[in-house]
Chain A
Amino acid sequence: MTDATPPSAGRPAAPRGLSRRGLLGLAGAGIAGLGLGVAGDRTVIAATGGAGTAAGYPFYARHQAGIVTPAQDRLHFASFDLSPGTSRADLIALLRDWTVAAAAMTAGRDVGEFGAVDGPYDAPPEDTGEALGLEPAGLTITFGFGPTLFEATDGTDRFGLASQRPADLVDLPHFPGDMLEEGQGGGDLCIQACANDPQVAVHAVRNLSRIAFGKAAIRWSQLGFGRTSSTSTSQATPRNLFGFKDGTANIKAEEPAAVDEQVWVQSGDGPAWLAGGSYLVTRRIRMTIETWDRTILREQEAIIGRSKGEGAPLSGGSEFTEPDFDKAGPDDAPLIDKAAHVRLAHPSRNEGRRMLRRGYNFVDGNDELGRLDAGLFFISFQRSPEQFSAVQLSLARNDAMNEYTRHVGSALFAVPPGARDGAYIGQALFA
Chain B
Amino acid sequence: MRSRLALPAFVCSAVLLALTGCVANESGPDATHATLTVDSSASECAVSAAEAPAGTVRFRVTNSGDKVTEFYLLGHDGLRIVGEAENIGPGLSRDLVVELEPGKYFTACKPGMTGDGVGKAPFTVTESGAAGEVDAALAARIETANSGYAGYVRDEVAELATGTDAFAAAYVAGDEALARSLYAPTRAHWERVETIAESFGDLDPKLDLREADLEEGQEWTGWHAIEKDLWPAEAEAGYQAYGADKRAHLAKLLVADTQTLKGKVADLSFTLSQQTNGAIGLLEEVASGKVTGEEEFWSHTDLWDFQANVDGAKVLYAGVRDILLDKDRKLARQLDTEFAALQALLDEHRVGDGFAAYTELSAADIRALADQVNALGEPLNRLTAALVIS
Contacts and interface: CB of A to CB of B under 8 A. Distances in A.
Interface of A: 25, 27-29, 83-85, 100, 113, 118-124, 210, 213-215, 217
Contacts of A100: 29
Which of A84, A121, A122, A214 lies at the interface centre, i.e. has the most chain B CB atoms within 10 A of its CB? Answer: A122
Given A25-B35, A100-B29, A113-B27, A124 B382 contact: yes
Contact of B338 (A25, A27, A124, A214): A214
Main secondary structure on A side of the interface with B: loop
A214 B384 contact: no
17 contacts: A25-B35, A27-B32, A28-B31, A84-B368, A113-B28, A120-B24, A120-B97, A121-B95, A122-B10, A122-B11, A123-B24, A123-B25, A123-B384, A214-B338, A214-B378, A214-B379, A217-B367
B175 interface: no
B371 A83 contact: yes
Contacts of A121: 11, 85, 94-95, 385, 390
Contacts of B385: 119-123
A217 B371 contact: yes
A124 B384 CA distance: 10
B278 interface: no
Nearest to A218: B371
Interface of B: 10-11, 24-25, 27-33, 35, 58, 60, 85, 94-95, 97, 273, 338, 341, 367-368, 371-372, 374-379, 381-382, 384-386, 388-390
Question: Which 10 pairs from chain A and chain B are nearest by CB?
Answer: A214-B375, A123-B385, A120-B385, A121-B390, A213-B374, A120-B24, A122-B384, A122-B385, A217-B371, A28-B29
A213 B27 CA distance: 22
A213 to B, nearest CB: 4
Nearest to A215: B375
Given A124-B382, A213-B377, A27 B33 contact: yes
B389 A122 contact: yes
A113 B29 contact: yes
Which of B27, B28, B35 lies at the interface centre, i.e. has the most chain A CB atoms within 10 A of its CB? Answer: B35
Contacts of B368: 84
B371 A113 contact: no
B389 A120 contact: yes
A123 B382 contact: yes
Nearest to B383: A123
A214 B31 contact: no
A122 B273 contact: yes
A83 B375 contact: yes
Nearest to A118: B95
Nearest to B379: A214
A122 B10 CA distance: 9
B381 A124 contact: yes
B128 to A, nearest CB: 15
A121 B11 CA distance: 10
A25 B31 contact: no
A122 B388 contact: yes
A62 B319 CA distance: 50
Contacts of A123: 24-25, 381-382, 384-386
Given A27-B32, A120-B390, A122-B384, 9 more contacts: A27-B27, A83-B375, A100-B29, A118-B95, A119-B385, A120-B385, A122-B24, A122-B388, A214-B375
Contact of A113 (B31, B377, B384): B31
